[in-house]
Amino acid sequence: MTLTEEEMKRLFLVERTLMQMLKDRGYLIEDSEITMTQEQFHTKYGDKMKRKDLVTLKAKKNDDNDKLYIFFPNEKKVGVAEMKKYTNKLKKHNVFRAILVMQDINDFSRFAKLSLSELSPKFYIEIFQEEELQMNVNKHVFVPEHRALTIEEKKTLLEKYTVKENQLPKILVTDPIARYFGLKRGEVVKITRLSEAAGRYITYRHVV
């Protein structure tokens, strides 16, 4: 089915947000993938573009083995068969992380959700709805800088302040900014705020 002009515009915004998001996560993203105009997007994919044309594989800057697939189902409803197709692709290419961009999260079947939970913890698949990727939540003027600590940094932090991770302030894994950075439960995120009084004000939050 040929996409409408409105759908093309929506997918252009979704693709731009995704590229910004993956760059912020440390994936290798070309500047041209972020600065691409809507006209260039249309020229690249053509009038007969389908959502599946946006499927892509990205790797981390400092680790080519750390890769992530982005899947765009052509159909609104996603069931077990579709999820099996994606997991088989992940297994074939030895990739353990993916983002699934759905037209409507309400069309993600109950059995597909169950199959998703069965993949854990080996495979980590994030679900986003096209609507929530229309804009970049991390670009909001009131959102401070967030960075997930490495395992070693987390250990050093807890030892330095003699605290356990569950004693730190919390951030929900469902929080929009936590989802933007792909944070997982158990991770600790460093938040740097700019303050007129203190200059830079740093806090840490435990993802739950």
144 contacts 194 by C-beta, under 8 angstroms: yes
Structural domain for 174, as ranges: 138-207
pTM of this prediction? 0.89
The answer on 146 and 130 residing in a single domain is: no
Measured CA to CA, the distance from residue 84 to residue 80 in angstroms comes to 6
* Cβ(145)–Cβ(191) below 8 Å: yes
Examine the fold and report which residue of 135, 160, 194 is the final residue of a domain before the chain moves on. 135
- Mark whether 120 and 165 lie in a shared domain: no
Domain boundary among 110, 135, 160: 135
pLDDT band for 79, please (50, 70, 90 cuts): very high
Kindly state whether residues 64 and 152 are assigned to the same domain. Answer: no
CA pair distance 205, 187, nearest whole angstrom: 8
Looking at the structure of the chain, the number of domains it has is 2
Radius of gyration from C-alpha coordinates of the chain: 19
Q: How confident is the model at residue 188 (pLDDT cuts 50, 70, 90)?
A: very high
pLDDT digits (tens, 9 = 90+) for 119-170: 777 889 999 999 999 999 998 878 899 999 999 999 999 999 999 999 999 9
pLDDT of residue 180: 96
End residue of a domain, out of 119, 135, 151: 135
198 and 119: one domain? no
* Predicted confidence band of residue 198 (pLDDT cuts 50, 70, 90): low
Q: Kindly state whether residues 122 and 142 are assigned to the same domain.
A: no
Residues 3-29: pLDDT tens digits?
888 999 999 999 999 999 999 999 999
Do the beta carbons of residue 40 and residue 30 sit within 8 Å?
no
